[in-house]
Every structure is written in structure tokens, then in C-alpha cells.
Amino acid sequence: MIEVNDIHKSFGDSEILKGISTVFEKGKTNLIIGQSGSGKTVFLKTLLGLFIPEQGSISYDGKIYSKLSPDQKSELRAEMGMVFQGSALFDSMTIAENVKFPLRMFTKQNKSEMNDRVNIVLKRVNLDDAHNKLPSEASGGMQKRVAIARAIVNQPKYLFCDEPNSGLDPRTATVIDNLIQEITQEYDITTVINTHDMNSVMEIGEKIVFLKDGIKEWEGSNKNIFKTDNEAVTNFVYSSDLFQRVQKMYLEEDQ
Amino acid sequence: MSYLHNIGQYFLMIKQIFRKPTKWSVMRHLILKDIDDLIINSIGIVSFIAFFVGGVVTIQTALNMTNPLIPKSLVGFATRQSVILEFAPTFISIIMAGKVGSFITSSIGTMRVTEQIDALEVMGINAINYLVFPKFIALMLYPFLISIAMFLGIIGGMAACFYGGFSSVDDYIAGIQMDFIPFHMVYAFIKTFVFAFLLATIPSYYGYYMKGGALEVGKASTTSFVWTSVMIILFNYILTQMLLSS
């Protein structure tokens, strides 16, 4: 579980995060949503420890990040997995080497143990025939699955995903969303996903935090986001015709 | 202010290179890969340039010695001094600032743009140690490259003498053995080690701290080449003043 308490983050004179507090629960897919420029990426990078907030605290299962020693911070980071928007695979390594990388860095496993673990994880993301391909030879969806495999190979406690299905076709995006949700439940980890994709919100949004201009405007789940009367949320959710029709259906069902 | 900021950040990066080392089993592979990329892959171009520039130095020297009282062996002597003292350590280093420096800046810069450096940092890895330390160690073999340049520069001069008929090979060999001062080799290799350090760290700095996209990677490579060259020339002057003017 990750507890965020009143965090503020600025760059120069511009304050990006203006006192956000929330809780991301274990075993659930927690989504951060909001329009472009709402502070989602800065919030996610602050959760990852890449940005240090000027005010407020973040605690990971009771461990307050700012009070940890550098070694403890490194240990905590080894418990985090991250799926970047552009996958961020190491392009000089093959897919198998990319997935093996965290094991080589942080474990004392021998070669065959590492290879076994890589095989298990690549099979889990349905990539058991792509070991020797380079990232440049893989499609966008495959790259995302490799990034997920790399993020979970070392059995992290926390999984962070920055727009995991951006640039993917709707079918592949749904596959990726479902894969993340299954892994979250299977490994019982705290997953935080940064997205502005409404399909993801509907599919896997067990906990949703809506940001607007660096402020937490609303929080809830995919079950009650269509029924909220918060104007900022409704403007965001019903910005497309499709979801306006979905709202209409919901209202008709209620009547 | 921006210059002061860059200088401060550069020295902080250098401190970070030697902190929190990457696991040796991983680092060993990185070092071997960088030796291949930075040293072995440069042997061809360095050999080619050294051989022909050595020849040109010999031709220029020979053509400018019109006084019959000057012994022909002086052509070999002048070529040796030019190649060992300046051409091999300094001129080759400027070329390497273009070849190796641009490679380092663009490869690290691309990693920055594609969030690969963020991925390393998220994993709790000291990205500066992981990326820059192997290049620093690989470039400690740079004197090997400069030795090849020295040797081939002098051989190139001999070939020019032989084929151009500017002096006999015997005179040339007598010239390259004339008044040899071993400290000149020490001076050349001290310069080489300093230039190797600059070649590893300045391009890494511009790659690591770049911001933006593909266009900025290109700009960072150009800036890194300019500043690496400027620093090589500046340190060449300082070291020459310190080591030879006594």
C-alpha cells in the first residue's frame, strides 16, 4: 500500500502538484487520470522517487521515503517495477536480456536460475518465442509486454505504469490492461497506472484518482465514475460521443 | 551563470562516476563492449589518418629545407618530433572528440530521450556509474591507440621519403634516432591520459544531462564536440607549459 500525504512539487515558479493526498491499495489496479498537463506524470515520477516533493510525504507499506537512508532507498527501488510510456527497453540487448537485466543486477541467481525465471515471465506475457529478438524488431504491443515482463521479473511489491497502452490499437490495449490487472491480483502487488484512456478506466479502474491542475479533484472507482456530479470529471469522461451514449444508457438503466 | 552551473554539475557527475558501483559481473561486459566500441573500432581511422598525415609532415618539412647545409636526416628528426609531441596525442584526440565523443553523447542522449536512463534510476542503479565508468576505463587504453598513431605516423613519413625521393631511408632512420629525449614520450602519454579523461567525461556529461528530443541529441553532440576540443587544446597548452618549459 502506498500512502500519499499532502505532496507539493514545483519546477521554478510553477507549482505542478498542489497538495495531493490519497491511498493506493495493495492487490488493486489504481489509476491516475486527468487531462494532459494535469500533473499525472510528475505525480507518478514523484511516487517513483525520481522527483523529490518540497512538502508532504509518501510511505510505502509504512516506510516513509524521505526518512530512508540512501541504501534503504535503493532497496525500496529494487522492489518497484516500472512500465514506461515508450517501454524504455535497452535497445542494445535482446528481449530475453532486457527481462534478465534486473535479475543480473539485484540477485545472486546463477545463469540457469535466471534463464528459468525469464522463461516463466516471458511465457506469462505470451512472448515465449521472442527471446532473441531485439526491441527494434518487436511491435509496440510486444515491446509493452516485454516492459511488463521486465517490471515483474524480480517480483516487485509495487508496479507503476505510465500510459501503458498509448499508441496501441484498441484490441492490444485491452490485452495489456487485462494483463496488468491479472498480474496485480496474481502477485498481490500495489499497481499504479497513469492513463487518460477511458477504456482502461472502464476495464480495470478499481481505484481512480482524477487530477486537475495539480489538485486531486475526485477519487472513486469505475463503478461510480459515471454517476458522479463532479463537473470536471464529467467534462473529462463525456468528452467523446461514445461515452455520452454510455452515460445515456446508464441513466436509462437507473430510470 | 549557466557556465558555472555546467561546471559544477560536471564535477558532481565525476564524483558520481565512482560512487555506488555496478555489480562487477555486469560491469565487466560493459567495459569490454566499450573497449570494442571506443578503442578497437577506432584503430582503422586512426591508422589511416596517422599514416598519411605523417607522410604529409615529412613532405612539407623536406620541401621547406632548401638550404644544402641542412642535413637530410633532419627530415626524420622533424617528423618524429612533430608526430610524438603534437600530432599523435593532440591532433588524433581532436579527431576522436568527433568520432568517439559524438558516439558517446548521442548514445547516452538517446537513452535519455527514450527514458532508458529513467528506467535505470527507477531500478535503483547509479546510472552515471553504469554508463560513464565503463567508458572511462575503456579510454584508459587510449594510449595504445596513440602509440599506433605515433608508429604509423613515422612509418608514413618514411614511406613518403622513399616514394617521393625527399631523402634516403637511411637518412630518415638516422633522423628519427637523433637526439631522442625519453621524457618526450612521458610528456606525450601524460597528455594522452588527460585527453582520455576529457574524451570520456565531457561527451558523457552532454549526453546525460541533455533535455528534449532527437533534434537536441544532435545539438548535444555538436556542443560536446566543441567543448571537448576546446578543453583538449586548453589542457594541451597548460600541460606543455608545465612539463616542457623548465
| Domains, in order of start, for chain A | 1-79+157-221 (3.40.50.300), 88-155 (no CATH)
Q: Does residue B198 fall inside a structural domain?
A: yes
**Is residue A80 within 8 angstroms of chain B, CB to CB?**
yes
B23:A104 CB<8 A? yes
**CA-to-CA distance for B98 and B93, rounded, in angstroms?**
9
Per residue in A37-55, pLDDT (tens digit) is 888 889 998 998 888 899 9
- C-alpha to C-alpha distances, B166 to B60, B62, B64, B106, B153, nearest whole angstrom: 10, 6, 11, 44, 16
Residues facing residue A64 across a β-bridge: A59
What residues of A are in contact with residue B26 (Cβ under 8 Å)? 104-105
CB A83, CB A145: distance < 8 Å: no
CA distances from B158 to A30, A114, B75, B184 (A): 74, 56, 10, 21
- Interface mutation target, options A105, A114, A154, A158, chain B, most CBs of B under 10 Å: A105
Tens-digit pLDDT profile for residues B80-100: 999 999 999 999 999 999 999
- Distance (Å, rounded) from C-alpha A88 to C-alpha B117? 8
Say if A48 is an interface residue toward chain B (CB within 8 Å): yes
The answer, yes or no, to whether residue A216 has pLDDT greater than 70, is yes
* Record: contact A86-B114, CB cut-off 8 A: yes
CB proximity A104 to B under 8 Å: yes
Please, what is the Cα angle at A127 between A191 and A196, to 5 degrees?
Answer: 35
pLDDT per residue as tens digits for the range B168-222: 899 999 999 998 999 999 999 999 999 999 999 999 999 999 988 889 999 999 9
Angle (CA) A90 A93 A95, round 5°: 90
- B16 occurs within a structural domain: no
- When CB atoms are compared, the residue of A74, A88, A89 closest to B124 is A74
Rg for chain A, CA atoms, rounded = 19
Residue B204 · residue B196 · CB < 8 Å = no
Whether residues B116 and A90 touch (CB distance < 8 A) is answered with yes
Query: Is A134 within 8 Å of chain B by CB?
Result: no
A123-141 tens-digit pLDDT: 888 888 888 899 999 888 8
Q: How far is B124 from chain A (nearest CA, A)?
A: 5
pLDDT band for position B12 (cuts 50, 70, 90) = very high
- B18 within a domain of the structure (yes/no): no
Grid coordinates belonging to A133? 529478438
**Could you give the C-alpha distances from B115 to A87, A141, A156, B111, in angstroms and in order?**
8, 18, 20, 6
Number of domains in chain B: 1
Query: Residue B138: CA atoms inside 13 Å, Cβ hemisphere, count?
Result: 26
Shortest CA gap A126–chain B (Å): 23
Closest residue by Cα to residue B116 from A93, A153, A160, A194: A93
Of A188-192, A213-217, B19-23, B36-40, the range with the lowest mean pLDDT is: B19-23
Q: Is A71 on the interface with B (CB under 8 A)?
A: no
What b/e readout covers B76-87, taking b as 16+ CB neighbours within 10 angstroms? Answer: bbbbbbbbbbeb
Q: Do B114 and A50 touch (CB under 8 A)?
A: no
Is B17 part of a structural domain of the chain? no
In the chain, the amino acid numbered B209 is Y
The average pLDDT across A1-12 equals 91
pLDDT at B13 over 90: yes
Return the residue of B nearest to A147 by Cα: B119
Q: Return d(Cα A103, Cα A54) in angstroms, integer.
A: 33
> Is B15 part of any domain?
no
Q: CB-based contact (8 Å) between A93 and chain B? A: no
Enumerate residues 138 to 167 of chain A having a beta carbon within 8 A of any beta carbon in chain B.
160
Report the residue from A50, A89, A90 with minimal CB separation from B121.
A50
Give chain B positions within 8 Å (CB) of A161. none
Q: Exposed, middle or buried by CB within 10 Å (0-12, 13-18, 19+), for A52? A: exposed
Report the largest interatomic distance among the alpha carbons of chain A, rounded to a whole angstrom: 63
Q: Report the complex ipTM.
A: 0.81
**Candidate from A242-251, B39-48, B66-75 with smallest mean pLDDT:** A242-251
Residue from A197, A242, A214 nearest A55 by CA? A214
Cα atoms in the Cβ-side hemisphere of radius 13 Å centred on B84:
19
* Per-residue pLDDT at A180: 87
Q: Do B123 and A78 touch (CB under 8 A)?
A: yes
The secondary structure element, H or E, covering residue A19 is strand A14-24
Minimal Cα distance from B23: which residue of A?
A105
Residues of A in contact with B22 (CB under 8 A): 105
Q: What is the pLDDT of residues B58-73, one digit of tens each?
A: 999 999 887 888 888 8
**Res. B246: pLDDT tops 70:** no
User: First-to-last CA distance in chain A?
Assistant: 38
CA angle at A130 for the pair A127 and A131, rounded to the nearest 5°: 110
Cα separation of B182 and B189, whole Å?
A: 11
> The cell 557556465 sits on which residue?
B3
Nearest to A105 among B33, B114, B123 (CB): B123
How far apart CA A161 and CA A84 sit, in angstroms, is 6
> B188 with B143: CB under 8 angstroms?
no
In the chain, the amino acid numbered B133 is F
Whole-angstrom distance, CA of residue B101 vs CA of residue B203: 5
In a domain, B30, yes or no: yes
CA distance B136 to B139: 5
Would you say residue A162 has pLDDT above 70?
yes
Q: Is the pLDDT of residue A239 over 90?
A: no
Q: Is residue B244 part of a domain?
A: no
B10 domain-assigned: no
**Chain B residues touching chain A at CB-CB below 8 Å:** 20, 22-23, 25-26, 33, 114-116, 118-119, 121-125
Structural domain that includes position B135? 23-238
Average pLDDT over chain B reads 92
